[in-house]
Amino acid sequence: MTSIPVADRWFRSERLDDGVRLIWEHHLSPNVHCNIWFVEGRDRNLLFDSGMGVRSLKKELAFLGEKPVVCVAGHSHFDHMGGHWEFEERVGHAAEAEVMAAPTGQNTLAVDYIEPRHFSALPYDGFTCETYTLKPAPLTRLVDEGDWIDLGDRVFQVLHVPGHSPGSIALLEEETGLLLSSDCVYDGHLLDELWHSHIPDYLDSMARLKELDIRTVRPGHYDSFGRDRLYTLADEYIAGRRKPGCPND
């Protein structure tokens, strides 16, 4: 990777019309970089997922230092929890806690995806895929179904939506119908055959999402979408995984 330049700026951000800001690592391919969601609250701010952790979010994005930040892990894969170590308040599900505290290339899936072809620039001089490591980020608060993330003027309900991973969570703002979904649903091929995925749980989670008053989905990858597309994605997944020969047990 010596012929690839070192990035001046690693992160880009865009303020959206619902008071949410999208952050992404724009020198990574769309198949690898996750959507990092930032929500500003009256009393504190929310960061949902944190990317690969190869550059400091706080040093590059000044708005992350304006108020206390509650950093929530949608799940414990490398592209979603790599930057959590930078934040004092780290929130997630108990089923992801072991990986968060002792992340490796294997248990976070990094060994399967960290390849030179996914980089258009280096995060820092001397970076190599072979030496990429994740810093431990033990959870400081465990949450489960029905818990709340309160920002003072915006409140998000925790949804436990396993399947992609056992402790996958999403955050729903009931007042607006906004869902921060991480990887429980996005508009692309849904991964459900990973080392700790469970297809029956994924089927249940998809059916459940259809029962909620969700108007906008801010997903873990790719573009945002609305209720109708959510229903289509859920129906397609459920139908596909209930075909004869699919592993549903």
Q: What is the pLDDT of residues 192-249, one digit of tens each?
A: 999 999 999 999 999 999 999 999 999 999 999 999 999 999 999 999 997 545 555 4
Number of residues assigned to the chain = 249
Is 229 contained in some domain?
no
Q: Give the sheet arrangement for strand 89-92, strand by strand.
A: 11-15, 20-25, 36-39, 45-48, 69-72, 89-92, 141-142
Residue 18: its pLDDT value, please?
A: 83
Is 152 contained in some domain?
yes
Is 33 contained in some domain?
yes
CATH number, domain at 37? Answer: 3.60.15.10
Q: Are 147 and 186 in contact (CB under 8 A)?
A: no
Query: What percent of the chain has pLDDT above 70?
Result: 96
Domain that holds residue 37: 11-177
> How many structural domains comprise the chain?
1
Please return the burial class of 237, using the count of CB atoms within 10 Å of its CB with bins 0-12, 13-18 and 19+: buried
For residues 239 and 231, give the distance between their C-alpha atoms in angstroms, rounded to a whole number.
12
At 67-82, the pLDDT tens digits run: 999 999 999 999 999 9
Residue 65: its pLDDT value, please?
A: 95
| pLDDT band with cut points at 50, 70 and 90 for residue 31 | confident
Is 76 contained in some domain?
yes
Residue 222: its pLDDT value, please?
A: 96
Is 77 contained in some domain?
yes
Is 66 contained in some domain?
yes
Is 171 contained in some domain?
yes
Is 189 contained in some domain?
no
